[in-house]
Amino acid sequence: GAGVSQSPSNKVTEKGKDVELRCDPISGHTALYWYRQSLGQGLEFLIYFQGNSAPDKSGLPSDRFSAERTGGSVSTLTIQRTQQEDSAVYLCASSFPGREETQYFGPGTRLLVL
């Protein structure tokens, strides 16, 4: 597609359930980021993938959060045993290597944990 796509656009889940959020980056972009945006807040860095290098997971808030990137393209962010404080918009972005300032963001997945 022309831009970064994310699915689902909205997700409501019960506390304790696992959720998977998907990101399809722009074709040819080797860098991929996940951010979390809580209500009224800025973007919080979660994880960064670049090509075949080991991802930078330093922003993941707990071990309930994990992410994978298969084949250097699609990425999945998994949150296990969701908590109410996990409710937020999860944004994915991609960029060309060496042009990390020009991140193209997807529309986000709005997660609500009841």
Partner 1 sequence: GQQLNQSPQSMFIQEGEDVSMNCTSSSIFNTWLWYKQEPGEGPVLLIALYKAGELTSNGRLTAQFGITRKDSFLNISASIPSDVGIYFCAGQGNMRGTYKYIFGTGTRLKVLA
The residues binding partner 1 (CB under 8 A) are 4, 31, 33, 35, 40-45, 48, 50, 56, 58-59, 91, 93, 100-108
- Smallest distance from partner 1 to CB 10, Å: 10
Tokens in use for 69? 């990137």
Closer to partner 1 by CB, 17 or 112: give it. Answer: 112
Tokens in use for 18? 């696992």
Instruction: Tell me if the bond preceding 97 is cis, omega within 30° of 0.
Output: no
52: amino acid identity, one letter: N
- Smallest distance from partner 1 to CB 48, Å: 5
